[in-house]
Amino acid sequence: MSVAKLSVSLSEELVGFVEKYRQKHALKRPQVFEQAVKLLRNRELETAYREANAEIDKAWEKTVADGLADEAWRDLLRRLESYGWLRDQQTRTCLDRQQRRQ
């Protein structure tokens, strides 16, 4: 893995925190900053995933609901629930919306 050297300026308060954290967790300074940057990257990824998941693809919703009679739809929902696949509210809302369109 190639690395790049950075020089940063921080307030005394943040420097003190970095030093205490480093000592408490037996880390070197670069490891502290690497962990911090990875946490920021993960937060950005989580936000992007959440936003992408919130987008509704109307064509997909229509395709998913094609051809399912009411009883077949209810049976599908029962099966999904039994597998634990309907735990989050967003998934349930999407499926309920599909059923209402039929």
How confident is the chain (102 residues) per 10-residue block, as mean pLDDT?
A: 90 96 96 94 85 70 65 74 67 62 54
How far is 91 from 5, CA to CA, in rounded Å?
Answer: 44
28, 18 contact by CB (below 8 A): no
How far is 83 from 80, CA to CA, in rounded Å?
Answer: 5
pLDDT at 51: 79
